[in-house]
Amino acid sequence: MKLRFLTTIVLLTLTGCEKTPTGRDQLALVPDPVMADMGARAFARMKQEGTTISDPDQRARVECVARRVLDEVESVYPGARVPEQWEVVVFDNATPNAFALPGGRIGIHAGILRVAEGPDQLAAIIGHEVGHLLADHGNERLTQKLGLRIALMLIGLFGEVENEQVLQVLGLGAKLGVTLPFSRAHEREADEMGQLLMAAAGFRPGESVALWQNMAEAGSGQPLEFLSTHPAHDTRIEHLRENLPAAQQRYEKAIPARCPAA
Ligand SMILES: [Zn+2]
């Protein structure tokens, strides 16, 4: 009886199981409008608290690359759930970082513009962040956190069910550690998607590899936020190299992008 109740809850939970644009199974249960609203509010606060770059040349460089990459979302990932709007903002922050918030918000730190050489490498960064958003990684991460609470609640309710069993049903492998985010899988997916997007937009996909080589070099002397939360650059570079032929094929069909260099 109790077990049937558990099954019902688990089935309700799993109805949110979907596939990401690359075909990976995903549990992302938070409704899109809720995610978009959270992202919009967080972004508004960041813009209020931080300084955004108003230099028209720098903004024009970022906007040119962003527009081209975003224009290819439909062609590369037809049918993907696309945010209602996109907003790309450059923050006056020296840390070489970039981030994406639900609801189509992308923040670029001025510091990463100094590491990225030229429009192609900038396209790799923007493509990567767009990948995170198209694949709904924020929702997945939040669902994981909520899932953990649900799991703990169930364990409390069903003392006789093995803890590990409950966690496994909820997709939270005990061996992986419930607090471990999917960041590695997310990064890999965002890299792969970003590389295809930049290539379709007419930016040389091989520059994604060069970007990460630059990031590794820039990171040798100081701890970098973007690097510390991301997988080792060797692994990442290797993966980007593996996917390069597919991206190169797309690039050869695209019209080369002409965006202003720094
Ligand atoms: Zn990332």
Q: Which residues surround ligand 1, an ion (CB under 5 A)?
A: 190
Q: What is the DSSP secondary-structure string of 154-183?
A: HHHH-TTS-HHHHHHHTT--TTT-TT--SH
Centre of ligand 1 from the C-alpha of residue 229, in Å: 8
The pLDDT of residue 148: 60
The pLDDT of residue 167: 45
Q: Please, which residues have CB within 8 angstroms of residue 152's CB and are 6 or more apart in sequence?
A: none
The pLDDT of residue 41: 84
Task: Please state whether beta strands 98-101 and 105-109 pair in parallel, antiparallel, or not at all (unpaired).
Answer: antiparallel
Query: Model confidence over 14-42: pLDDT tens digits?
Result: 445 678 999 988 888 777 888 888 888 88
Reported confidence tier of residue 70, pLDDT bands at 50, 70, 90: very high
Nearest to 129 by CA among 155, 108, 157, 158: 108
Centre of ligand 1 from the C-alpha of residue 158, in Å: 37
Give the Cα separation of 111 and 108 in Å (integer). 8
CA angle at 140 for the pair 134 and 146, rounded to the nearest 5°: 150
Q: Does residue 6 have a pLDDT over 70?
A: no
Centre of ligand 1 from the C-alpha of residue 105, in Å: 14
CA angle at 101 for the pair 98 and 105, rounded to the nearest 5°: 80
Reported confidence tier of residue 222, pLDDT bands at 50, 70, 90: very low
Regarding predicted confidence, which is higher, 4 or 148?
A: 148
Residue 129 is a catalytic residue:
yes
Centre of ligand 1 from the C-alpha of residue 189, in Å: 9
Q: Which of 63, 72, 87, 129 is catalytic?
A: 129
Task: Please state whether beta strands 25-27 and 87-91 pair in parallel, antiparallel, or not at all (unpaired).
Answer: unpaired
Q: Does residue 47 have a pLDDT over 50?
A: yes
Centre of ligand 1 from the C-alpha of residue 132, in Å: 7
Query: Model confidence over 81-122: pLDDT tens digits?
Result: 899 899 999 999 888 888 888 899 999 989 999 999 999 999
Centre of ligand 1 from the C-alpha of residue 221, in Å: 21
